[in-house]
Amino acid sequence: MLNYNKNYQQLYDSFSMEADDDYNMGFDVCDKWHHQDPEKLAIIHKQDDGEIKHYYFRDLYENSNAICNTLVADGFEQGDRVAILLPQAPEVAFAHIATYKLAGIAVPLFALFGEEAIKFRLQNSGTRFVVTNKEGAKKIAGFLSELPDLEKIYCIDGCTDNSEDLYQRIAESEKTFSVRPTTLETPALIIYTSGTTGQPKGALHGQRVLLGHLAGVEISHNFLPQANDIFWTPADWAWIGGLYDVLMPALHHGVPVVCHRFKKFDPELVYQLIADLKIKNIFFPPTAIKMLATVKNPEQRWDFNVRSIASGGESLGSALHQWGQQTFNLQINEFYGQTECNMVVSSCSEIMQTPAGFMGRAVPGHKVEIVDDQGNIVAPHEVGNIAIYKDSPSQFLHYWQNEQATTQKYVGDWLLTGDCGAKDEEGFIKFFARDDDVITSSGYRIGPGEIEDCLIKLPSIKMAAVIGKPDKTRTEIVKAFIVLNDGFNPTAELKQEIMDYVKTKLSAHEYPREVEFIDDLPMTTTGKVIRKQLSRD
């Protein structure tokens, strides 16, 4: 935990991440608090029917222990993968905590993923157990025969032909469990991240991943925790931003976290939620902020008292910063990181005045520099690669079963983020652009490779290329360029079929909102698509 200091340099220089090597995240975010005060509030769940249900650390402790015992009874072994395919729900916390206590590896999956996206991740990770709901179980049923490693599916809302009722199994299981020994480096989490070619890569993190995030979360929320703090994000808990920028740090600090995922983001309902539940600390993706800013005079219509707002994923710009000041009477703190190494740069209005256009400074515990392609630190204001020194505590262990990609992620002692930027004399860092073809849309980073692989499975499509097209609200939208096979005509109906196919097979946030039919794709002499030559207009 950061020691409050208004001088950034003193704060940075004096920081050290003190942790015993025999560390376990499940114990840290659950058992630690249960032993101190089992009735301490952990999760405030606003259910779909509007009912508010409170979960205390006793609930987290007993439910996670029962899941541990259920998994052990079903043959769980250390290092087994447990996929968690759920929207924001208390069971997400139960399942993660249980997996970490068991020295297993959690594989969070976005509930809106389609069959192809889920199948690839389950196959690639060799998942043995899945915690989901009936909707998720139904998706998996369509390709169950293609998952030789999968042994059990547990549903939180009953059972199906291919799954068991999780709560029935919990009721039959003991509520105590001895946490299995783990170290800071014990594998604990695989989160899949998109790339420019082929399928997503699984970033494998160790048990220390939570500790590595804490300083960034604390500084971006003006020294979390403070009295009466209550944390919330609309971001899904399957993404590293929702899971390790909000849920897990909140539980670590004993700060109540609000659990509510809107089926469709409605800015007026968001303001109402903030006011009703007295939310004090929020992580908003930039797209959410843009949508909230469309509501006129919210500060006059709702009674809220937010203490901190953090945002990451893309730059906000001066207009949205002014909106934050006018609406919430605070400065929004921007932060920066990625799935492989998160929360490494942040602003903090409590202790620094970040220049317009800059993200902030390196978070204490992390060394972030701008380097050239050989890994040499460049001069102030010179554009280069945003790079993170290899000893960063939130750094991933490696890509799951992909040694080549892991090696390519580094130059010397530096992990390359894939982003270009510059740094001034005071250490403030500015983001300029991606140096690859990854698309940033509504806060999500989307790899064109997975979408292209999905598209060419359609019999109508001969070749496909995907790029990001600038968009005022979403930053970019996905645009697909399609070369058709003989016998197919470029009709409006076919465009809609292509869009719906990707939405169903991958995810609603990855489907191409624009489709353009062309005769040929620009290619290199070695047969690679030159996406930069495709029109972004």
pLDDT tens track for 100-124: 999 999 999 999 899 999 999 999 9
| 38 cis-preceded (ω within 30 degrees of 0) | no
pLDDT tens track for 176-217: 999 999 999 999 999 998 765 668 999 999 999 999 999 999
Residue-level pLDDT at 445: 75
Tokens of 479: 């645009």
357: confidence class by pLDDT, cuts 50, 70, 90: confident
- pLDDT of 526 > 60? The answer is no
Strands lying side by side in the sheet with 41-46: 52-56, 41-46, 257-259, 231-232, 281-283, 308-312, 333-338, 341-346, 361-362
Measured distance CA(171)–CA(177) in Å, rounded: 15
- pLDDT of 528 > 70? The answer is no
Q: Which residue has the higher pLDDT, 448 or 21?
A: 21
Residue-level pLDDT at 435: 65
In this prediction, residues 130-158 reach a mean pLDDT of 97
Check: CB of residue 262 under 8 Å from CB of residue 236: no
- pLDDT of 416 > 80? The answer is yes
Burial (CB < 10 A; 0-12, 13-18, 19+), residue 535, is exposed
434: confidence class by pLDDT, cuts 50, 70, 90: low
pLDDT tens track for 333-352: 999 999 999 999 999 999 99
Strand partners, 187: 206
Residue-level pLDDT at 473: 85
In this prediction, residues 250-278 reach a mean pLDDT of 95
463: confidence class by pLDDT, cuts 50, 70, 90: confident
Measured distance CA(463)–CA(112) in Å, rounded: 26
Measured distance CA(374)–CA(49) in Å, rounded: 56
Residue-level pLDDT at 315: 77
Measured distance CA(356)–CA(359) in Å, rounded: 9
Residue in this structure with the two tokens 């389950």, named with its chain if needed: 122
In this prediction, residues 77-93 reach a mean pLDDT of 98
In this prediction, residues 127-133 reach a mean pLDDT of 98
- pLDDT of 332 > 90? The answer is yes
Residue in this structure with the two tokens 């919990």, named with its chain if needed: 170
Measured distance CA(439)–CA(457) in Å, rounded: 21
Q: List Cβ neighbours of 535 (8 Å cut-off, separation of 6 or more).
A: 516
Sort strands 414-423 and 384-389 into parallel, antiparallel or unpaired: antiparallel
Q: Look at residues 368, 408, 367 and name the one whose alpha carbon lies nearest to residue 384.
A: 368
Residue in this structure with the two tokens 């970033």, named with its chain if needed: 203
Window from 12-16, 189-193, 517-521, 533-537 with minimum mean pLDDT: 533-537
Percent of the chain scored above 70 by pLDDT? 97
Give the chain's mean pLDDT: 93
- pLDDT of 394 > 80? The answer is yes
436: confidence class by pLDDT, cuts 50, 70, 90: low
DSSP per-residue letters across 401-422: T-HHHHHHTEETTEEEEEEEEE
- pLDDT of 231 > 70? The answer is yes
Check: CB of residue 127 under 8 Å from CB of residue 81: yes
Strand partners, 165: 155
Q: List Cβ neighbours of 82 (8 Å cut-off, separation of 6 or more).
A: 71, 95, 98, 99, 104, 105, 106, 107, 127, 128, 129, 130, 131
Residue-level pLDDT at 316: 83
Check: CB of residue 125 under 8 Å from CB of residue 102: no
CA dihedral sign of residues 125, 129, 130, 134? positive
pLDDT tens track for 369-386: 999 999 999 999 998 999
Tokens of 360: 């902030």
Tokens of 295: 């509501």
Residue-level pLDDT at 191: 97
- pLDDT of 525 > 60? The answer is no
Measured distance CA(100)–CA(121) in Å, rounded: 19
Q: Which long-range contacts (CB under 8 A, 24 or more apart) does 251-254 make?
A: 251/29, 251/30, 251/33, 251/42, 251/60, 251/93, 252/28, 252/29, 252/210, 252/214, 253/1, 253/224, 253/225, 254/33, 254/40, 254/42, 254/57, 254/225
In this prediction, residues 509-533 reach a mean pLDDT of 81
Measured distance CA(343)–CA(283) in Å, rounded: 12
- pLDDT of 529 > 80? The answer is no
Measured distance CA(378)–CA(372) in Å, rounded: 6
Residue-level pLDDT at 286: 84
In this prediction, residues 490-504 reach a mean pLDDT of 94
Residue-level pLDDT at 17: 82
Domains and CATH numbers, the chain: 25-34+55-182 (3.40.50.980), 439-533 (3.30.300.30)
Measured distance CA(83)–CA(107) in Å, rounded: 4
Residue-level pLDDT at 323: 94
Compute the C-alpha angle 154/189/86, nearest 5°. Answer: 35
Q: Look at residues 428, 457, 462 and name the one whose alpha carbon lies nearest to residue 355.
A: 428
Window from 149-153, 281-285, 416-420 with minimum mean pLDDT: 416-420
Tokens of 437: 């073809």
Residue-level pLDDT at 119: 97
Check: CB of residue 87 under 8 Å from CB of residue 111: yes
Distances from the Cα of 93 to the Cα of 1, 62, 146, 489, angstroms: 22, 12, 28, 49
427: confidence class by pLDDT, cuts 50, 70, 90: very high
Sort strands 341-346 and 333-338 into parallel, antiparallel or unpaired: antiparallel
Residue 518 region, left (φ>0) first, then alpha (ψ -120 to 50), else beta?
beta
Check: CB of residue 207 under 8 Å from CB of residue 188: yes
- pLDDT of 131 > 70? The answer is yes
